Amino acid sequence: MTGRGGSRGGTLLRTVSPGTCLEMQAALEVTARHCGRELDQYGQCVAAKPESWQRDCHHLKMSIARCTSNHPIIRQIRQACAEPFEAFEECLRQNEAATGNCAEQVRRFLQCAEQVQPASPPAGVQARPLPAS
Protein backbone atom coordinates (compact mmCIF):
# COMPACT_ATOMS: atom_id res chain seq x y z
CA MET A 1 0.00 0.00 0.00
CA THR A 2 2.82 2.42 0.71
CA GLY A 3 4.04 1.77 -2.80
CA ARG A 4 0.97 3.48 -4.20
CA GLY A 5 2.25 6.75 -5.55
CA GLY A 6 0.60 9.92 -6.65
CA SER A 7 -2.66 11.25 -5.39
CA ARG A 8 -5.60 9.97 -3.36
CA GLY A 9 -3.61 9.52 -0.17
CA GLY A 10 -0.72 7.34 -1.36
CA THR A 11 1.88 9.69 0.10
CA LEU A 12 0.15 9.77 3.48
CA LEU A 13 0.79 6.15 4.43
CA ARG A 14 4.47 5.90 5.15
CA THR A 15 4.94 5.18 8.86
CA VAL A 16 1.93 3.46 10.36
CA SER A 17 1.44 0.13 12.06
CA PRO A 18 -0.12 -2.66 9.97
CA GLY A 19 -3.45 -2.45 11.85
CA THR A 20 -3.59 1.28 11.45
CA CYS A 21 -2.67 0.85 7.80
CA LEU A 22 -5.66 -1.41 7.13
CA GLU A 23 -7.99 0.92 8.98
CA MET A 24 -6.54 3.88 7.10
CA GLN A 25 -7.00 2.03 3.81
CA ALA A 26 -10.72 1.61 4.49
CA ALA A 27 -11.11 5.23 5.55
CA LEU A 28 -9.09 6.52 2.59
CA GLU A 29 -11.12 4.52 0.08
CA VAL A 30 -14.33 6.09 1.34
CA THR A 31 -12.75 9.54 1.67
CA ALA A 32 -11.19 9.39 -1.80
CA ARG A 33 -14.52 8.49 -3.33
CA HIS A 34 -16.41 11.38 -1.72
CA CYS A 35 -13.77 14.00 -0.82
CA GLY A 36 -11.21 13.23 -3.52
CA ARG A 37 -10.50 16.84 -4.48
CA GLU A 38 -9.58 17.73 -0.89
CA LEU A 39 -7.49 14.57 -0.51
CA ASP A 40 -5.64 15.24 -3.77
CA GLN A 41 -4.82 18.84 -2.78
CA TYR A 42 -3.49 17.69 0.58
CA GLY A 43 -1.41 14.90 -0.98
CA GLN A 44 0.08 17.29 -3.51
CA CYS A 45 0.93 19.79 -0.77
CA VAL A 46 2.59 17.10 1.37
CA ALA A 47 4.63 15.87 -1.60
CA ALA A 48 5.67 19.41 -2.57
CA LYS A 49 6.73 20.47 0.94
CA PRO A 50 8.60 17.55 2.54
CA GLU A 51 10.27 19.76 5.15
CA SER A 52 7.29 21.83 6.25
CA TRP A 53 4.15 19.92 5.20
CA GLN A 54 2.79 19.62 8.74
CA ARG A 55 2.62 23.39 9.05
CA ASP A 56 2.07 24.42 5.44
CA CYS A 57 -0.60 21.82 4.61
CA HIS A 58 -2.55 21.93 7.85
CA HIS A 59 -5.36 24.01 6.30
CA LEU A 60 -5.80 21.35 3.60
CA LYS A 61 -5.87 18.59 6.20
CA MET A 62 -8.67 20.50 7.92
CA SER A 63 -10.58 20.77 4.63
CA ILE A 64 -10.55 16.95 4.41
CA ALA A 65 -11.87 16.76 7.96
CA ARG A 66 -14.63 19.26 7.13
CA CYS A 67 -15.59 17.33 4.02
CA THR A 68 -15.75 13.98 5.81
CA SER A 69 -17.69 15.49 8.70
CA ASN A 70 -20.18 17.31 6.53
CA HIS A 71 -20.60 15.05 3.51
CA PRO A 72 -24.10 13.51 3.70
CA ILE A 73 -23.07 10.17 2.17
CA ILE A 74 -20.21 9.74 4.64
CA ARG A 75 -22.61 10.45 7.49
CA GLN A 76 -24.91 7.79 6.06
CA ILE A 77 -22.03 5.32 5.74
CA ARG A 78 -21.08 5.89 9.39
CA GLN A 79 -24.62 5.11 10.41
CA ALA A 80 -25.45 2.29 7.98
CA CYS A 81 -22.10 0.50 8.25
CA ALA A 82 -21.39 0.91 11.94
CA GLU A 83 -21.73 -2.83 12.57
CA PRO A 84 -19.25 -4.05 9.91
CA PHE A 85 -16.83 -1.27 10.91
CA GLU A 86 -17.02 -2.28 14.58
CA ALA A 87 -16.39 -5.92 13.57
CA PHE A 88 -13.37 -4.72 11.60
CA GLU A 89 -12.00 -2.74 14.56
CA GLU A 90 -12.55 -5.72 16.89
CA CYS A 91 -10.68 -7.97 14.46
CA LEU A 92 -7.75 -5.53 14.44
CA ARG A 93 -7.67 -5.56 18.26
CA GLN A 94 -7.65 -9.36 18.31
CA ASN A 95 -5.06 -9.70 15.53
CA GLU A 96 -2.53 -6.97 16.28
CA ALA A 97 0.32 -9.14 15.10
CA ALA A 98 -1.52 -10.47 12.01
CA THR A 99 -3.82 -7.76 10.73
CA GLY A 100 -3.99 -9.50 7.35
CA ASN A 101 -6.47 -11.80 9.08
CA CYS A 102 -8.96 -8.90 8.94
CA ALA A 103 -9.17 -8.66 5.15
CA GLU A 104 -12.66 -10.17 5.19
CA GLN A 105 -13.90 -7.60 7.72
CA VAL A 106 -12.50 -4.68 5.72
CA ARG A 107 -14.06 -6.15 2.56
CA ARG A 108 -17.46 -6.32 4.31
CA PHE A 109 -17.16 -2.72 5.46
CA LEU A 110 -16.20 -1.45 2.01
CA GLN A 111 -18.96 -3.53 0.42
CA CYS A 112 -21.45 -1.96 2.84
CA ALA A 113 -20.11 1.53 2.12
CA GLU A 114 -20.47 0.97 -1.64
CA GLN A 115 -24.13 0.02 -1.22
CA VAL A 116 -25.09 3.17 0.69
CA GLN A 117 -27.09 5.41 -1.60
CA PRO A 118 -27.41 9.17 -1.13
CA ALA A 119 -30.62 10.07 0.64
CA SER A 120 -33.29 11.48 -1.61
CA PRO A 121 -34.23 15.11 -1.04
CA PRO A 122 -37.58 15.60 0.70
CA ALA A 123 -40.65 15.56 -1.55
CA GLY A 124 -41.09 18.84 -3.38
CA VAL A 125 -37.40 19.78 -3.11
CA GLN A 126 -35.47 19.61 -6.33
CA ALA A 127 -31.80 18.76 -6.22
CA ARG A 128 -29.65 21.32 -7.99
CA PRO A 129 -26.47 20.31 -9.81
CA LEU A 130 -23.27 21.38 -8.08
CA PRO A 131 -21.29 24.15 -9.79
CA ALA A 132 -18.30 22.92 -11.77
CA SER A 133 -15.00 23.33 -9.94
Over the chain (133 residues), what is each successive 10-residue block's mean pLDDT?
39 43 72 88 93 93 89 87 90 84 89 83 51 51
Quick check: is 124 in a domain? no
Report how far residue 132's alpha carbon sits from residue 9's, in angstroms, rounded to the nearest whole number: 23
Report how far residue 43's alpha carbon sits from residue 91's, in angstroms, rounded to the nearest whole number: 29
Sign of CA dihedral 117, 120, 126, 131: negative
pLDDT of residue 37: 92
Q: What letter would DSSP give residue 10?
A: G
pLDDT of residue 77: 87
Quick check: is 89 in a domain? yes
* Residues of the domain holding 102: 18-115
Quick check: is 12 in a domain? no
Quick check: is 85 in a domain? yes
Domains: count for the chain:
1
Report how far residue 38's alpha carbon sits from residue 114's, in angstroms, rounded to the nearest whole number: 20
Quick check: is 59 in a domain? yes
Report how far residue 72's alpha carbon sits from residue 77's, in angstroms, rounded to the nearest whole number: 9
